Structure 1
């Protein structure tokens, strides 16, 4: 578990843009199975989360179509919520950071760490916007 003061600015990077933090398995289930589309960002303390994942997720919201719900869990901090979110992302293996788009509870698009690491935030945003245009 990472200290709260260490992850606070990393959490706020997403929550200040309208993402809701999920801390329990029940909250994850409710968010993912909600009607409409839900983007789940598995946040992380790693450099690729700071340089690529979080900025890419935020840039992706500059699109005409976007998810109905924006939520985040924090790997290494909110274990119960992260484990439950990852269970919804099967058959993809656990990775952080990662992003998943759900539509009416069904996983329709996934970005794993290897899709994020080493790629510019703009490319990640473009990938997500393409998914929003198809599913939202």
Structure 2
């Protein structure tokens, strides 16, 4: 488990921009079953989270369409919450970072780590904006 002094600033990059911080399995379950669209970010300490995932996600939200709800949990810190999120992301294997879009409680779009690694934030944003155009 990562220390709070390392994780909290990385969490704040999303929570300061309106993401709800999910720290328990019950919060994850409730958030991902909401009506409307919900964007889930499984946050991480890795470089691709810092360089592509978090900036790409934030940039994606500047478009015309965006999800109704924004939520996040941190891998290696919010252990039980992330385990519950990963259960709801099946059949996709565990991945961090990861970004998922749910519509009315159903998983409709997924970006796994291998989609994020090596791609610039703009590519992540474009991928998510295309999903928002389709589902939001």
CA distance in structure 1 between the aligned counterparts of 2:38 and 2:85, rounded to whole angstroms: 12
The correspondence of residues 20-31 of structure 1 with structure 2, limited to 5 A, is 20-31=20-31
Partner of 2:114: 114
How far did residue 8 of structure 1 move? 1.2
Partner of 1:11: 11
SS at match of 2:66: coil
> Could you say what the CA RMSD is over the residues aligned between the two structures, in angstroms?
0.4
CA distance in structure 2 between the aligned counterparts of 1:37 and 1:14, rounded to whole angstroms: 17
CA distance in structure 1 between the aligned counterparts of 2:81 and 2:70, rounded to whole angstroms: 15
CA distance in structure 1 between the aligned counterparts of 2:123 and 2:39, rounded to whole angstroms: 17
Count of matched residue positions in the alignment of Structure 1 and Structure 2: 136
Partner of 1:125: 125
TM-score of the two chains, using structure 2 as the length reference: 0.99
Partner of 1:83: 83
Q: CA offsets per residue over residues 78-122 of structure 1, 9 Å max, x none?
A: 011000011111010000000000000000000000000000000
Structure 1: runs of 5 or more not aligned: none
CA distance in structure 1 between the aligned counterparts of 2:88 and 2:69, rounded to whole angstroms: 16
How far did residue 36 of structure 1 move? 0.3
Structure 2: runs of 5 or more not aligned: none
SS at match of 2:81: helix
SS at match of 1:100: strand
CA distance in structure 2 between the aligned counterparts of 1:44 and 1:58, rounded to whole angstroms: 15
CA distance in structure 2 between the aligned counterparts of 1:130 and 1:86, rounded to whole angstroms: 23
